[in-house]
Structure 1
Amino acid sequence: MDLRQMRQALVLSETLNFHRAAERLHMAQPPLSTAIRKLEEELGVTLFERLPSGLTLTPVGEIVLRQMRATLFFADEIRRAASEGEAGLRGKLRVGFVGSSVYSLMPRLIRAFRLKYPRVELVIEESTTVDLLRAVEEHTLDVALVRFPVLGKTSAEVMLVQPDPLVLAVSADSPLAGRESVALSELGDTPFIVYSQARVPTMHALMMYAFHAAGIQPPIAQEALQVPTILALVESGIGVALVPATTARQGAAGIRHIPLTGLPEQMDFGLALAMLPDAVNATTRNFAALAQEIAQE
């Protein structure tokens, strides 16, 4: 017994006529009659009662055909799942992101992906760039939104998708709050809140490089792990900070974001997609393509 025989029996149960069933199945009537007879012999039951007035389903036939209909439905579902999985329309995608991405790309990307690919299950994890890259390398994440540039060695492919330059975050009552721009070289005596050297080493190193290029060595008031924490500390008046420009979209009343001058020209900051080239499937490719599309809007 195979799916082809089940479909033949199902069509025959709907028409109760060998000739019409054969037409619907695009086959000749004799092979259909032979196939149904062999199916009945294999099952050891009579599915169709042959009467002078025509065919009718036997009680056993009604039970068997009900199960065949369910079997064919699930067989079609399996084929659909395989096809959609191959096209990236179904499955699971494990996505990592840095906290600063929630101010710009991340919410729009997740919303758009869920609308476009509703059958894909999203598993989302927040962490630091270092930990996200490690998770991608260990195959516990399929793709991650990380801060760019990445200075450390990684086997992941890192592709910049959204430039996001650094600005100076100050408290609303800071003497700097009314400035239209600030040169980094002016801030040699200003306490700074910086990224954690242990947990966010790339961003910490870039901050230190920017200070060095500007010829300053400001006091470090506090280290922090994520941008929201840094901004909260800035608002409390502990110090100022270099943060991504997109954080200004948070619109916190107690913080001012001021454009910076004097940053090294080669310091291109932004959000990037990280994934392993040899582990990219259709679902991951769809996510990456959508991220680039939304970032360009």
Structure 2
Amino acid sequence: MDRPELPLPQLHAFVVLAEELHFGRAAARLGIAQPPLSQQIRRLEDKVGYALFNRDPGRVDLTAAGRELLPAARQAIIYLAQGLTAARDVGSGRVGHLRIGFAASLALTILPSLLRTFREQFPVVSLDIQEMTTTPQLAALRDRTIDIGLLREPPANDAELAFETVLTEPFVAVLPASHSIAAQRTVRVEQLAHCPFVLLPRAVGPALYDQIAAVCTAAGFTPQVAQHAVEWQTVCALVGTGLGVSLAPESIRRIRLKGVAFRRIEPDAVRTRVAVAWRKNDPNPLIPRIVGALEDSPSDSPRLRRR
């Protein structure tokens, strides 16, 4: 396909003159003098190879060639204006596409308010929300299959990824409702020493797994894991069947399952971090926008601390 050699100023001048059919009015509308307008039209006619206007004394009309060119010239100007607007919108982060990975438990905390806040601020941005645990999120960020991750316990000193803590929360004990210590309002961690545990596999969230193990170690025992489950809802369901107990981020208590009790623990000094993650130096202008939306979105629990 041959590259067109019709400069935009000449096309614009042509369209305005075709609408006014008067050099003086067209020049005034363009904000230029009449001689430069005449020169623009002459240059365009030279490129076309045919006259575009009949110039009779006191009268200007389009030629057949001019009538043929006019719709295409108008469309070219419209397409360019639309393209410029679209480019500016994407460049500014007002529109575009954003792929977000999130840990399932965050659907119980910051995800709903984040999405509401972001949708209010950027209603035409397309969002692709994918549920995944921490380790798959880190891999997806490095593979560029997601743009933003919302995860627990991010790794330290990552060469490729940036992290910002947006929320912290304490741990709670997850117990069968029929368990004797479920009658207590607060459970001391050492009371769980002889109980089998149901936990997420370490591979899906090593830092969180190690943090739970450290809480138990500080209480003088190593948790004996009887069963693994990839999602916290499954962990709670298995606890409810009597397969064991667990320690979980406090937001997990919002999973309301029959036969499951959630209790505060003592000591409760350890808090798990929720972080937003993204690729360092990623040029996507939507990334700082969603990080800002995270800062603006509220936490609805006094035990969940922002940053």
> Take 2:215 and 2:159, find their aligned partners in 1: how far apart are those partners?
23
Q: Tell me, yes or no, if the aligned pair for 1:200 and 1:225 is still in contact at 8 Å.
A: no
Given candidates 76, 79, 82, the residue that maps to 1:71 is 76
Measured on the aligned residues, the alpha-carbon RMSD in Å equals: 2.4
Q: Does 1:56 align with 2:61?
A: yes
Q: Secondary structure at the match of 1:89?
A: coil
> Take 2:169 and 2:66, find their aligned partners in 1: how far apart are those partners?
67
Q: How does 1:130-209 map to 2 (within 5 A)?
A: 130-148=135-153, 150=155, 155-209=160-214
Q: Tell me, yes or no, if the aligned pair for 1:152 and 1:202 is still in contact at 8 Å.
A: no
Q: Tell me, yes or no, if the aligned pair for 1:211 and 1:217 is still in contact at 8 Å.
A: yes
Deviations 1:217-273 (A, max 9, x none): 34322111121221222233322222221223344444332211124x3x3313101
Q: Does 1:287 align with 2:293?
A: no
Say if 1:59 and 1:247 are closer, same or farther in 2 by CA, change over 3 A.
farther
Q: Tell me, yes or no, if the aligned pair for 2:113 and 2:298 is still in contact at 8 Å.
A: no
Pairwise CA distance, 1:179:
2.7
Unmatched segments (≥5 aa) in structure 1: none
Q: Secondary structure at the match of 2:60?
A: strand
> Take 1:147 and 1:87, find their aligned partners in 2: how far apart are those partners?
30
Instruction: Give the aligned residue type for 1:26.
Output: G
Q: Does 1:258 align with 2:263?
A: yes
Pairwise CA distance, 1:295:
4.5
TM-score by length of 1: 0.88
Q: Secondary structure at the match of 1:202?
A: helix
> Take 2:81 and 2:218, find their aligned partners in 1: how far apart are those partners?
63
Q: Tell me, yes or no, if the aligned pair for 1:148 and 1:268 is still in contact at 8 Å.
A: no
> Take 1:7 and 1:260, find their aligned partners in 2: how far apart are those partners?
73
Say if 1:10 and 1:255 are closer, same or farther in 2 by CA, change over 3 A.
farther
Equivalent position of 1:278 in the other structure: 281
> Take 1:11 and 1:234, find their aligned partners in 2: how far apart are those partners?
76
Q: Secondary structure at the match of 2:32?
A: coil
Say if 1:150 and 1:261 are closer, same or farther in 2 by CA, change over 3 A.
farther
> Take 2:156 and 2:267, find their aligned partners in 1: how far apart are those partners?
21
Q: Which runs of 4+ in 1 moved over 6 A?
A: none
Equivalent position of 2:303 in the other structure: none
Say if 1:258 and 1:115 are closer, same or farther in 2 by CA, change over 3 A.
same
> Take 1:34 and 1:61, find their aligned partners in 2: how far apart are those partners?
16
> Take 2:292 and 2:259, find their aligned partners in 1: how far apart are those partners?
37
TM-score by length of 2: 0.86
Say if 1:56 and 1:150 are closer, same or farther in 2 by CA, change over 3 A.
same
Instruction: Give the aligned residue type for 1:124.
Output: I
Say if 1:296 and 1:61 are closer, same or farther in 2 by CA, change over 3 A.
farther
> Take 2:249 and 2:64, find their aligned partners in 1: how far apart are those partners?
72
Equivalent position of 2:305 in the other structure: none
Deviations 1:23-47 (A, max 9, x none): 1111001111221122122112333
Q: Secondary structure at the match of 1:198?
A: helix
Equivalent position of 1:13 in the other structure: 18
> Take 2:44 and 2:55, find their aligned partners in 1: how far apart are those partners?
15
Pairwise CA distance, 1:194:
0.9
Q: How does 1:71-110 map to 2 (within 5 A)?
A: 71-110=76-115
Q: Tell me, yes or no, if the aligned pair for 1:149 and 1:269 is still in contact at 8 Å.
A: no
Say if 1:12 and 1:223 are closer, same or farther in 2 by CA, change over 3 A.
same
Q: Would you say how many aligned residue pairs link Structure 1 and Structure 2?
A: 295
- Larger CA deviation: 115-124 vs 69-78: 115-124
Q: Secondary structure at the match of 1:82?
A: helix
- Larger CA deviation: 8-17 vs 252-261: 252-261
Equivalent position of 1:31 in the other structure: 36
Pairwise CA distance, 1:78:
2.3
